[in-house]
Structure 1
């Protein structure tokens, strides 16, 4: 793999969710370790699956990886990091300050923002504190999906700037003494990110136009931060073996069309191309060979075709849409691992309901989503499309708090409130409030929300209980939408969650964890949607036959987990526009014609 030629000390793997960052990061770590390099592989993703890919149970400290000399792995667990950070901040005051004061400090450190800064604290220590990692030759970061990654990478400047400008010593994070003590490490973190000799950013994308555009957007924003040493990896490029297979030819042409339209900003980057594999990349042996030309054994495929039975799966989207329409209002949430097609499924459901004559608002809380692009230039009179814009929501929230909570403050008090509102936590509060408001709108019509990737979504839902503490610290009253959010989300006649996945190991296992989290929050999924499946299609190409065969075990697993399962077939043409979205959820007898 070209991006491993003359590798710097730090390698970051980033890109739109579901593009294969974890597989590539793991493969790179294994291959560097096999060369005798001492490597630390770190996940900063709250929804990390490093353990599954590497076959080793990891923790929030470097752990030796089984079957690979010289390789250690670790997950930055936000909750564990937050607990350690909280105790580091509060512990010294136990027995010194009154119990009530200590309890107040603990409450200040119990919000979702503490999770983020604590995880970043670990990240900065690994990147900016050289003595802490001097035993390793290379550190590889398997980062979270793009939106979270960008926030993570901008935090060094954001937090250090906030520390330098904060004059009161307090914020939504509580006392800033712990952060101030880290300023030297944070400065070194920023310097390391910008150093071409120290850091290389590996932009991972699929040969799909939306994925390549997302990589270009990430590249531009990261270059603006000074991260200039960038390498593009196009992962999963398909080349048809069977030239008589119309579906295979169409898939190859779709890949090539996306590459032909690649944004100029990344088109000139050094590039590595990884061929589409016939199977999921699990286990050390598969990782050692990632990047090599894919081969399949015909006899193996024929044996699998003859011994495995195709699991029962439903393509009856008509009934599901009719069941949703019978409610005549409410909220539909699409959730799942990044890159599984939540935006597309949300758009298709919105179109289906609008075509039945219902007023529908389609919106997203995911900064990396492109709902409007999915619908293209088409429109339906009953359908409106919107987006929860973090920047606009934050600006509106700050203005509202200054107008209400700051109305009767003196000049010094307003200055302190304005300073508090400049903290990086304010965006989280503002977006959360907008999410609650969007859910409340479902009382009057249908609202379809394309939510953020799993980790962020669950953090958003978990915040409902802690939000009251945070918002009332700055504002005088709890918004009605927030007060009734959890009851609305838990009402099965009002909220319907569609868990979206792909017929592959990691997306299915991630969806299973999501379902467990939802059930702990007393939210029962309405249905699972298995997206981009080859199972209902007639394929002859050996690579595609192998991929279709490998879907079976995961479809059986989904059937054992879900109360209701819907299948969508892989589409020859990208499912954009009203007609493309309609075909995506067509009746089962239409699939062969799609």
Structure 2
């Protein structure tokens, strides 16, 4: 990896879930330590798997990795920091305010923004305070702050508490109110991130269009903040070794096409290409090989499963999904797992059964929507929730109300607060609520849905409203019915979409926990883009099949009551023909 030829002292790795961010951070740390340099590897991921990757139990203090002299690693837990902060903020009000009000406050501080600031606080103590890491030559972080966090922390008003009483209900300023004492360290941290002589920010992506778009967005945000010292890793690049293997040839071609069409801002960065590993990057030996071209030989006999033992395809769920004749179907999951495609495929299958179906997508490119619309399938209408437009409308509304009487500095801070991911989540939620109401008379299929936190936030707000006013009649009927509908398994069915890999499965498991906190039980899990049931001969893909098996088993045995498995497709699954293939059972694509 080229950035290791002349590495800066600090290396930050960032990227969406499942692209291999942690693996790349671990590999870099191991390779630097092998040169005799003292290296500290730090994760602030609440679900960090550094322990598993390095084969060493870790805690909140630097722990030596016995198999790699000079390497130390630690897991910082932002959830613990966020919990402690919440208790400092809410504790004084217990027994003073009504219980419903306290629950509302607790949920207000349970969102991603609280966790984001708490995570930043944890690693700022290491980056901003040079004495804290003076015994190390390099510090490698497998999590980097978002552009939103950095912008918020550079605004002077964030530390004055000036608008604490003017923005009641905003979700991002709360954490800052409890962290004002760290002002100097935060300023030093932001300065260090922008210093090209001491810090490199490594963007990790996959050779896929959606992953490139996300990396380009992150790159733009950081460039605007003066963080120009960026390096791009394209991880998981596959080159077929078996011309007779149609699946291997198609995968190689699709990757090449994605790389050739990557956004211009990424194409201009210094780049490292990491080949697709034969299996998961677990253990120090595999990390030492990252960045090298592996020569795959005919694999030893692998543990296999007969086709009959694999979960059936999406078609196995369709009878149950169609039985009620109307309602809402939600495809939920992290970015890049294919939830838009799964939602579109389910919508097409329902329409072809003769139902009236409305598909609503947040796909920024709207490729699926445009393709279906062009084919004019009877009974199917397609709309699009535009997150940018919904967020702009919501932001304008807040600025006209909460921001009306603020001075210029106060408005600047409120505007930045409204640029947070939480704002988009709330704005899209409003559009989502409008769409859900249509499920009373037809099928509504949505490729996006509010997180468990957002649902609980609505629930606690309603409870607080009732407690204070004692007049539930003031709540609009549409809002009153929303939560019961989401929690009604005969009205709303949630499909949790994931990939057969460690990070996507474990992130989906956390999503399921959030939904259950909100009293919503997922209907089924969909394991997307699986190689496991396919007939492949390429040695790398054969090894990848073997690597998928424990994650498929984990979903089947411990996480889901119903499971559907969608095989990897030779062609991108767009258009009616492509979406019909998604619904087809795996048996049509196997031996």
TM-score range, shorter chain: 0.7 to 0.9
Retained in 2: the 8 A contact 1:194–1:228? yes
Alignment of 1:194-233 (within 5 A): 194-233=194-233
Equivalent of 2:328 in 328, 331, 335:
331
1:55–1:444 distance in 2 versus 1, CA, 3 Å: farther
Query: In 1, Cα distance between the equivalents of 2:132 and 2:285?
Result: 30
* 2:444 maps to 1:447: yes
Give how far 1:531 is off: 1.2
Retained in 2: the 8 A contact 1:504–1:551? yes
1:49–1:518 distance in 2 versus 1, CA, 3 Å: farther
Query: In 2, Cα distance between the equivalents of 1:311 and 1:553?
Result: 17
Equivalent of 1:149 in 146, 149, 154:
146
Aligned to 2:266: 266
Aligned to 1:85: 85
Equivalent of 1:493 in 490, 500, 522:
490
Give how far 1:100 is off: 3.1
Q: Could you give the per-residue CA deviations for residues 328-374 of structure 1, whole angstroms, max 9, x where no partner exists?
A: 3322222334432223222322333344442313234xxxx546134
* 2:111 maps to 1:117: no
SS at match of 1:538: coil
Retained in 1: the 8 A contact 2:314–2:584? yes
Give how far 1:274 is off: 0.8
Retained in 2: the 8 A contact 1:340–1:531? yes
Alignment of 1:182-197 (within 5 A): 182-197=182-197
Query: In 1, Cα distance between the equivalents of 2:408 and 2:267?
Result: 47
Aligned to 1:100: 96
Query: In 2, Cα distance between the equivalents of 1:416 and 1:257?
Result: 46
Query: In 2, Cα distance between the equivalents of 1:501 and 1:101?
Result: 41
Q: Could you give the per-residue CA deviations for residues 398-427 of structure 1, whole angstroms, max 9, x where no partner exists?
A: 526856x89xxxx86999997996545772
Retained in 2: the 8 A contact 1:58–1:75? yes
Query: In 1, Cα distance between the equivalents of 2:508 and 2:203?
Result: 25
How high is the TM-score relative to the length of structure 1? 0.82
Aligned to 1:457: 451
* 2:280 maps to 1:280: yes
Retained in 1: the 8 A contact 2:357–2:443? yes
Retained in 2: the 8 A contact 1:437–1:482? no
Aligned to 1:575: 573
1:179–1:532 distance in 2 versus 1, CA, 3 Å: same
Alignment of 1:543-582 (within 5 A): 543-561=540-558, 562-582=560-580
* 2:240 maps to 1:240: yes
Alignment of 1:144-543 (within 5 A): 149-157=146-154, 160-163=156-159, 166=162, 172=168, 173=173, 178-298=178-298, 300=300, 303-304=301-302, 309=306, 312-356=309-353, 357-364=355-362, 370=364, 372-379=366-373, 380=376, 382-387=380-385, 389=387, 392-393=390-391, 395-396=393-394, 399=397, 402=400, 422=415, 423-424=417-418, 427=423, 429-451=426-448, 457-468=451-462, 483-543=480-540
Q: Could you give the per-residue CA deviations for residues 256-280 of structure 1, whole angstroms, max 9, x where no partner exists?
A: 2222222222223211111111111
Q: Could you give the per-residue CA deviations for residues 98-148 of structure 1, whole angstroms, max 9, x where no partner exists?
A: 97389989975652354443333324333333333334333323237xxx8
How high is the TM-score relative to the length of structure 2? 0.83
Give how far 1:466 is off: 4.1
Retained in 1: the 8 A contact 2:17–2:504? no
Give how far 1:19 is off: 1.4
| Structure 1 gap segments, 5+ residues each | none
SS at match of 1:540: coil
Give how far 1:502 is off: 2.0
Give how far 1:498 is off: 1.4
Query: In 2, Cα distance between the equivalents of 1:235 and 1:136?
Result: 27
SS at match of 2:254: helix
Give the length in aligned residue pairs. Answer: 570
Retained in 1: the 8 A contact 2:30–2:287? yes
Alignment of 1:41-60 (within 5 A): 41-60=41-60
Q: Could you give the per-residue CA deviations for residues 518-544 of structure 1, whole angstroms, max 9, x where no partner exists?
A: 445433221121111223322111111
Give how far 1:29 is off: 1.9
Query: In 1, Cα distance between the equivalents of 2:406 and 2:295?
Result: 68
Query: In 2, Cα distance between the equivalents of 1:114 and 1:517?
Result: 16
Give how far 1:469 is off: 8.0
1:549–1:70 distance in 2 versus 1, CA, 3 Å: same
Query: In 1, Cα distance between the equivalents of 2:435 and 2:24?
Result: 37
Query: In 2, Cα distance between the equivalents of 1:523 and 1:478?
Result: 22
Give how far 1:446 is off: 3.0
| Structure 2 gap segments, 5+ residues each | none
Retained in 1: the 8 A contact 2:43–2:142? yes
Retained in 1: the 8 A contact 2:326–2:443? yes
Q: Could you give the per-residue CA deviations for residues 431-483 of structure 1, whole angstroms, max 9, x where no partner exists?
A: 5545444444433443333348xxx9344344344445899999997565555
Retained in 2: the 8 A contact 1:334–1:451? yes
Query: In 1, Cα distance between the equivalents of 2:20 and 2:175?
Result: 39
Retained in 2: the 8 A contact 1:311–1:552? no
Retained in 2: the 8 A contact 1:55–1:66? no
Retained in 2: the 8 A contact 1:350–1:362? no
481-490 vs 99-108, greater mean Cα deviation: 99-108
Aligned to 1:126: 126
SS at match of 2:96: helix
SS at match of 1:244: coil
Retained in 2: the 8 A contact 1:311–1:555? no
1:83–1:547 distance in 2 versus 1, CA, 3 Å: closer
1:140–1:175 distance in 2 versus 1, CA, 3 Å: closer
529-538 vs 343-352, greater mean Cα deviation: 343-352
Retained in 1: the 8 A contact 2:369–2:383? no
